[in-house]
Amino acid sequence: MIARIARISLLLALCCLAGALARAQDMPSTPPIKMGLWESTVTSTMSGITIPPEVAERLKAMGRQVPGSTPHTVVTQGCMTPDEWTKTLERMNDKQSNCTYSNRTVTAQKISFDLSCASERGGVFTGHFEMNIDDDQHSHGSAHMKGEAGPNGQAMTIDTTISTRFLSSDCGAVKPGDAKIIKSE
């Protein structure tokens, strides 16, 4: 589960960038970012979620964070290669995806779009994503999502900030398609 969260964190930062570019008419023929080892910091805050007190206490006793109580930050490292870039674009254009994209805007420095995603546990989340490309080694952005989760349709809001930075052209032990968790708190 943690590996999945790490991969999602890295891919949220880089894949959304790629996905927005994939359908843009002015998509560059080469990736607008450097290839190699990237680090992503994703901080999310959930609100509206209600956890029964006994469940919250059990989570605290296990040393786990109670969802919605504080922001959650995950720092990951991932390896972006030309092949991974292509795969990312293909995944974002997959008609079988549980997300649809609209209102895409792409400039040389900024990418934004609205999205609607069906949750694996029921419900639909809608929101807005925005990524600022500072240069080929840095980007930062945000996402704001609202929806209903779980079988009871509990309303919740997720606000996320994202920053990415290029570390090295050598990915070292981090394999393309995987993500290494550096910190999760």
Kindly report the three-state secondary structure assignment for every residue of the chain: CHHHHHHHHHHHHHHHHHHHHHCCCCCCCCCCCCCEEEEEEEEEEEECCCCCHHHHHHHHHCCCCCCCCCCEEEEEEEEECHHHHHHHHHHHCCCCCCEEEEEEEECCCEEEEEEEEECCCCCEEEEEEEEEEEECCEEEEEEEEEEEECCCCEEEEEEEEEEEEEEECCCCCCCECCEEEEEEC
The predicted-structure confidence for 11-36, as pLDDT tens digits, reads as follows: 445 444 444 444 444 445 566 789 99
Q: Is 107 exposed, middle or buried (0-12, 13-18, 19+ CB in 10 A)?
A: exposed
pLDDT at 72: 87
Q: Residues 136-148: what's their mean pLDDT?
A: 92
Each domain of the chain, given as residue ranges in start order, spans 2-184
pLDDT at 166 over 50: yes
pLDDT at 11: 45
Provide the whole-model pTM. Answer: 0.74
Q: What percent of the chain has pLDDT above 70?
A: 74
